[in-house]
Amino acid sequence: MGTAIKRVFVSLSIALLLMAMMTTSPSQAQTSRNAMIGQMLMMGFPGSNPDGSWPKRLAAQISRGQVGGVVMLGYNFKSKAGVKRLTSLFRNAAGRRKLFIALDMEGGAVQRLGRKLGYPSIPSARRIARTQSPQQAQKTYSRLAAISRNAGFNMNLGPVVDLLINPSNPVIGRWNRSYGTDPTKVAAYASAFVKAHRARGIVTVLKHFPGHGSSLSDSHDGFVDISNTWRNKELEPFVKMIARGDAVAIMPGHLIHRQIAGSVPVSISRKAIRGLLRNKLKFRGLVLSDDLQMGAIAKNFSYRSAVIRAVNAGVDMLMISNSRKPDKNLPAKTIAIISNAIDKGQISEATVRAAYQRIQRAKAIAF
């Protein structure tokens, strides 16, 4: 008798579960999808005043689950107190949701929290490689990581693992952002950077895959073709750091390499990201795009096309500075672009789900 009752109870439970699944409204399913897509967006914003309309609007979008990360760029950094108020605003808006708050904090010429804001100066990558051992560098980067964490950041868009192929390179070589020409040495110093940040709960992002050190121009301005200047050894720092578990996240560059990526930039190339980075190099971490509004992308692709191409290429998180004709509704519009593309069969929902899961695994480091 007891067994029969249990069978009836189980059957009834299954029936109720099936009914609940059948009666789930489209809006509920859509909300779940949109929440995943929202986590894929890392948004920038104009201004530096925490009481300004743009930061407050972004905070509201974060609280609605439309944004999974914030990137703060040079023009957002005007005072030490203002920066801390901004990061607190965004962190509080996220509530129980996990939010990435990212900055460029390499040291040298690229140090958002620098002397102008009253912080100590940290040497450039090139200087550190010349004057410090990797062990000493880790201590230096521990100070840099502490500065970032105390200011409210949990993601650093570094280290640079580009090799110094072209010393006069306008974006890497000229600013001493590379550790040097030797892949083993570059990987050693970059790993010191990663370990120092990991100890502070900060996610690091290796850049710029597959290597920006040989370029003759700057992808901020337009297309950069490295097809004839790039060398195979530029992949080695990425390979080494993936193998040793020091590659939590990787940023593909807006770089043309016809053999690796075909006719489109690496950052939106399925061949480069899914083919080379994921399948051949076995990278299982987070892929974060460089700003999709940089000249190399914005001057050659519509915003909708760039977003869809990036997601299909295998980018998990889209960085969007919202600096080119700032749009107050850009998060909602971007979510709609991706959601509509799923409805039309242009993006697989499984792709979004996989991106969401990788984002959450990366966020576990910082929370």
Q: Where are the domains of the chain?
A: 41-366
Active-site residue flag, 316: no
List Cβ neighbours of 157 (8 Å cut-off, separation of 6 or more): 71, 102, 103, 104, 105, 205, 207, 251, 288
Instruction: Give the model's pLDDT for residue 222.
Output: 62
CA dihedral 180, 248, 251, 42 (to 10 degrees): -140
Q: Are 101 and 58 in contact (CB under 8 A)?
A: no
Q: Annotate 323-349 with three-state secondary structure.
A: CCCCCCCHHHHHHHHHHHHHHCCCCCH
Instruction: Give the model's pLDDT for residue 152.
Output: 98
Range 41-366: architecture per CATH = Alpha-Beta Barrel (3.20)
Angle value at C-alpha 279, between 276 and 284, nearest 5 degrees: 105
Instruction: Give the model's pLDDT for residue 21.
Output: 35
3-state secondary structure of 206: strand
- In the set 104, 290, 291, 316, the catalytic residue is 290
Active-site residue flag, 290: yes
Q: Are 331 and 57 in contact (CB under 8 A)?
A: no
Q: Are 63 and 118 in contact (CB under 8 A)?
A: no
3-state secondary structure of 102: strand
Instruction: Give the model's pLDDT for residue 87.
Output: 98
Instruction: Give the model's pLDDT for residue 143.
Output: 98
Residues linked to residue 155 through DSSP beta bridges, in sequence order: 102, 203
Q: Are 55 and 47 in contact (CB under 8 A)?
A: yes
Instruction: List pLDDT tens digits, range 318-354.
Output: 999 999 899 999 999 999 999 999 999 999 999 999 9
Q: How far apart are CA 334 and CA 330, in angstroms?
A: 6
Instruction: Give the model's pLDDT for residue 12.
Output: 39
Instruction: Give the model's pLDDT for residue 324.
Output: 85
Residues of the chain short of pLDDT 50, as ranges, are 1-28, 31
> What is the value of pTM for the model shown?
0.90
CA torsion sign for 230, 307, 277, 183 is positive
Q: How far apart are CA 176 and CA 180, in angstroms?
A: 9
Q: How far apart are CA 159 and CA 121, in angstroms?
A: 17
Burial class (CB in 10 A: 0-12, 13-18, 19+), 64: middle
Instruction: List pLDDT tens digits, range 83-139.
Output: 999 999 999 999 998 999 999 999 999 999 999 999 999 999 999 999 999 999 999
3-state secondary structure of 156: strand
Tokens of 194: 């990663």
Q: Is the peptide bond before 252 cis (omega within 30 degrees of 0)?
A: no
Q: How far apart are CA 101 and CA 337, in angstroms?
A: 24
Angle between helices 26-39 and 349-366 (to 10 degrees): 50
Letter for the amino acid at 33?
R
Instruction: Give the model's pLDDT for residue 88.
Output: 98
